[in-house]
Amino acid sequence: MTACQRAGIVVRMVTGDNIKTAKKIAEDCGILKPGGLAMEGPDFAKLPDKELDKQLPALQVLARATPMDKYRLVDRLKQLGEVVAVTGDGTNDAAALKKADVGLAMGIMGTEVAKEASDIIILDDNFVSIVRSVMWGRNVYDNIRKFLQFQLTVNVVALITAFIGAITQYGTPLKAVQLLWVNLIMDTFAALALGTERPTSDLLNKKPYGRKSSLISKIMWRNIIGMGLFQVAILFMIIYAGPQIWDLPENGHDHPTKPTVHYTMVFNTFVWLQLFNEINARKVNTDLNVFSGIHRNFVFLGILIGTAVAQVLIVEFGGYFTSTTSLTAVQWISCVGLGALALPFGFILRLIPVPLEPHEKPTEESLEELEFLTKRDKTKRKPYQRV
């Protein structure tokens, strides 16, 4: 219960029990706080909507309630713009479960009607499983945002590089097969890597995402635009100044069809920039440490290493098919070194303040005692399932 409240979730009890019994249980569970409102169903039903809306923020216990009272409570909260989750196990709860944004039915005590009307079934009828489902839900949402941040950065850089290269008569530095490798293979693996980030109790330190919260936040736009401009600057340096820096024959205006060291370095640096920026993409909030927990995500590390090995093979042995040619040790070190600059630059970007949305502001209280929720479930039984 405390976990939900610290995570910004308002927990209300709706029961058919006597109000004295309901208040005592609610106080023991931490639902009814000092100054909180406890109301009986008949009084609740008599209130007009405008008066009820004024009482709802303080309402914590609704006793002697009918199924219609529960349904009306859900409806009024949704009318006020709240995201509502409802638990229930009886047939009479079906209407409220269906009306709620998220209906959670009990897997053991719940009736089949309640289960059919719900979105999630709590298999062990344990409130801790609800807390865990909230944590996993926030984690999935964050993982989607991580991939969006990474993917948009890749696309912005590729588009600007191809466009500017074309209008300055340098041709398209990134060839079709190279872009196919980046977009269809490397980004697919990146989605898998970023999508396997496991939840931590820190997710419960934040307020819930609002109904109207932007999928791409101001923090993400800062990271996308800032990192995109940085990568474009690195690639343009190689395109226009690379022949002088590394003493290479310039591709120039003749648009050679044969693979060249010059454009191979452009492609190689571009991929290494994305590989290191994939680590930056692990954070889409105010956290500064992008390496936290990375040692526990073996899928992420495996994909990162596998993609790096594949890139070496493509550059060294791709030849005409991938428009690449072998590079010297100095050229390889230069490409990887320039790509690695994405990490310190990403750290600098995260120091630039931007306006935060309400859910991005951490709560003051710590949730260290909830670390057990992130440990592996030794029972081998899933706490909830979607239907």
Sheet of 59-63, strands arranged across: 13-14, 59-63, 37-40
pLDDT for 365 = 45
d(Cα 182, Cα 302) in Å, to the nearest integer? 17
- Range of weakest confidence among 3-12, 109-118, 159-168, 246-255: 246-255
- pLDDT class of 254 with cuts at 50, 70, 90: very low
Short-list 342, 4, 21, CA closest to 203: 4
113, burial (CB in 10 Å: exposed 0-12, middle 13-18, buried 19+): middle
Checking if the pLDDT of 235 tops 70, the result is: yes
**Is 246 in contact with 327 (CB distance < 8 Å)?**
no
pLDDT for 315 = 95
pLDDT in tens, 338-361: 999 999 999 999 999 998 887 776
pLDDT for 19 = 93
- pLDDT class of 176 with cuts at 50, 70, 90: confident
What residue spans of 118-186 are helical by DSSP H?
A: 127-167, 176-180
**Going by C-beta distance under 8 Å and a sequence separation of 6 or more, which residues neighbour residue 346?**
223, 227, 277, 279, 280, 290
22, burial (CB in 10 Å: exposed 0-12, middle 13-18, buried 19+): buried
- Range of weakest confidence among 96-105, 152-161, 166-175: 166-175
d(Cα 268, Cα 259) in Å, to the nearest integer? 13
Task: Read off the tokens for 322.
Answer: 């991938």
Cα–Cα distance list, 385 to 107, 127, 315 (Å)? 10, 14, 45
Question: Who wins on pLDDT, 13 or 250?
Answer: 13
Question: Who wins on pLDDT, 251 or 105?
Answer: 105
d(Cα 138, Cα 262) in Å, to the nearest integer? 44
pLDDT in tens, 10-55: 899 999 999 999 999 999 988 998 889 999 999 999 999 999 999 9
pLDDT in tens, 298-326: 999 999 999 999 999 999 999 989 999 99
**Is 146 in contact with 197 (CB distance < 8 Å)?**
yes
Sign of torsion over alpha carbons 300, 142, 156, 288:
negative
Checking if the pLDDT of 125 tops 60, the result is: yes
Checking if the pLDDT of 227 tops 60, the result is: yes
Short-list 358, 235, 226, 225, CA closest to 285: 358
**Is 50 in contact with 73 (CB distance < 8 Å)?**
no
Instruction: For residue 67, give the H/E element and its range.
Output: helix 67-79
pTM for this one? 0.82
d(Cα 249, Cα 3) in Å, to the nearest integer? 63
Question: Who wins on pLDDT, 203 or 290?
Answer: 290
Task: Read off the tokens for 245.
Answer: 């820096």
Helix pair angle (127-167, 218-245), 10° resolution: 40
Checking if the pLDDT of 376 tops 70, the result is: no
Instruction: For residue 240, give the H/E element and its range.
Output: helix 218-245
Q: pLDDT > 70: what percent of the chain?
A: 91
- What is the residue whose two structure tokens read 């009084």? 43
pLDDT for 172 = 79
d(Cα 140, Cα 142) in Å, to the nearest integer? 5
Q: What is the mean pLDDT of the chain?
A: 86
Short-list 107, 95, 99, 303, CA closest to 197: 303
